[in-house]
Structure 1
Amino acid sequence: MTEQNLTAVEALAAFARRHTDDRAVQALVDAATLELAGRTVVRPDQHAVPRRFVLRRRTDISGISGTGDVADGVLWPDGTAAVRWRGEHPSAVHWDRGQASVELIHGHQGATEIVWLDQDDDEPAAAPAPTVNPAAASLRLRRVVDHALNKPVPCPKCRRTTTCGCMADRTEGRIDAVLAALAPWLVDGQAA
C-alpha cells in the first residue's frame, strides 16, 4: 500500500510508528478517534456490554411524542447510542456522539431524561483479599473512583441527572457517589 492510499488514521499510525512503540501508537490512534469521532475504540478482548435506557418525557414540548417513556435506547460500548421511538410512527436514530447527543437533541432542557435500565458494567468490585498485590489494588481502586466521578448525580432541587436550569451545586451528590464506591475498600475507616 502506498502512502497515497492510506486513510488519515493509517497515516497517523505510520508516522507515529517511526518515533515510538506499537502500544503508544495505538493509544494515540484511540485518543484521536475519541476526540474526532466522539467514540471509544473497543477491542475484542475487552469485556464491554451495551446499556439499555428509556427516554422519559415529563413535558411534551413539541406536542408529538407525548409523555412517559417515549423511546428505547442502547448506549453501545464504544460510546455511540441508538434510539428507537415508540408510538404510531416509530423511527430509529443513531448518534455517533452517544449520550451527549441524545441529551442535547432530545432532552428539551430537562423535559426529557435518560433513565438507565441496566447497571454500568464497571460496578465496584468487592474488597480485595489481604493477599492481593497492592499495585493491582491501587489500579482497581483508581477505576472505581473514576467510575464514581463520572456517574450521573441528581440535582438536589429537581432530581434530574441531566443538565438542568437550577444551577444547584452537585458537589455533595458527587462526594456521596465517591464514598459509596469506596465503601467496599474501607475497613473501620482505613483503606484495605
Structure 2
Amino acid sequence: MTAEQDLEQIATGPQFVGARIVQPNDPVRPRLFVLHRHVDVSGVSGTGVIADGVEWPDGTASIRWRGEHPKIDFADRGVPTLHFVHGHSGATEVEYLDQDPAAAISTDDAPAALRRVIDIALGKPVRCPQCGRPGACRCIADRHAARVDVVLGAVLAYLARTQGAAS
C-alpha cells in the first residue's frame, strides 16, 4: 500500500466518520454552544445550563461540564454524539450561542415550490425509534433526526428534479 492509500484509508476509516478535513485557509469558524438540561434524568448534573461547548470546524465537538466536579469531554463525531449520549431523549438540548451560518441566507429567496416540498415533508409521519409507531405513542423518544432525514430527502429529490430540468 502506498503512503497516499494509507492516508486515504485513515481519513475515511470509522474513527473519522462525521469529521471533515479543514484546510488552513478555509473560512469556517468554531461555533459556541451550551448544553441546556430540562430534566435531570441521572440526578447528577442538575437542570439549566450544565456544560459549555465548542463545535469545531472539522465537525468534532468538545464540552466542559459545569459544577463542583468539572471535566472535559470530546465527541469525535460531533454534536450528534452529544445528542445521543447526553440528550436523554430530549431532556437536554444543544443551544448555539453564536449565529448559525445558514441564518445569513434569507429564507425569502427560497422558491415557492421548495417551500411546498418542505411543508409536505414536515407533515409526513415519522416512526418512533423505540416502538416503531408512526403516530403518537407513550415513548419520549426524540424523532428529530428522523424528521431531518425526511426533510433532507424531500429537498434532495427537489434539487435533483430542478437540476435535471435545468440541464
Scaled by the length of structure 2, the TM-score of the pair is 0.59
Task: Name the residue aligned to 1:47.
Answer: 27
Question: 1:121/1:87 Cα in 2 relative to 1: closer, same or farther (>3 Å)?
Answer: same
Question: 1:123/1:58 Cα in 2 relative to 1: closer, same or farther (>3 Å)?
Answer: closer
Question: 1:53/1:167 Cα in 2 relative to 1: closer, same or farther (>3 Å)?
Answer: closer
Unaligned runs of 5+ in 1: 14-27, 128-140, 154-163, 179-192
Task: Name the residue aligned to 1:165.
Answer: 141
Tell me which of 47, 72, 76 is aligned to 1:67. Answer: 47
1:117 aligns with 2:97: yes
Give 3-state SS (helix, strand or coil) of 1:108's partner.
Answer: coil
Checking the alignment, whether the CA contact within 8 Å between 2:89 and 2:142 is kept in structure 1 is no
Give 3-state SS (helix, strand or coil) of 1:46's partner.
Answer: coil
Task: Name the residue aligned to 1:105.
Answer: 85
Give the Å deviation of 1:53.
0.6
Please give the per-residue CA displacement for 1:55-107, whole angstroms capped at 9, x wherever unaligned: 11111111111000000100001000000000011111111111111111100
Tell me which of 57, 61, 71 is aligned to 1:91. Answer: 71
- Residue identity in the other structure for 2:37: R
| In structure 1, C-alpha distance between the alignment counterparts of 2:74 and 2:143, rounded to whole Å | 30
- Residue identity in the other structure for 1:60: D
Give the Å deviation of 1:120.
2.3
Q: CA RMSD in A?
A: 3.6
Rg larger in structure = 1
Question: 1:125/1:63 Cα in 2 relative to 1: closer, same or farther (>3 Å)?
Answer: closer
- Residue identity in the other structure for 2:63: V
| In structure 2, C-alpha distance between the alignment counterparts of 1:166 and 1:40, rounded to whole Å | 26
| In structure 1, C-alpha distance between the alignment counterparts of 2:78 and 2:39, rounded to whole Å | 23
Between the two proteins, what is the percent identity of the paired residues?
A: 41
Question: 1:126/1:104 Cα in 2 relative to 1: closer, same or farther (>3 Å)?
Answer: closer
| In structure 2, C-alpha distance between the alignment counterparts of 1:77 and 1:84, rounded to whole Å | 18
- Residue identity in the other structure for 1:11: Q
Q: Which moved more, 1:39-48 or 1:118-127?
A: 118-127
Task: Name the residue aligned to 2:16.
Answer: 37
Give the Å deviation of 1:114.
0.6
How many residues align structurally?
121
Tell me which of 57, 67, 78 is aligned to 1:77. Answer: 57
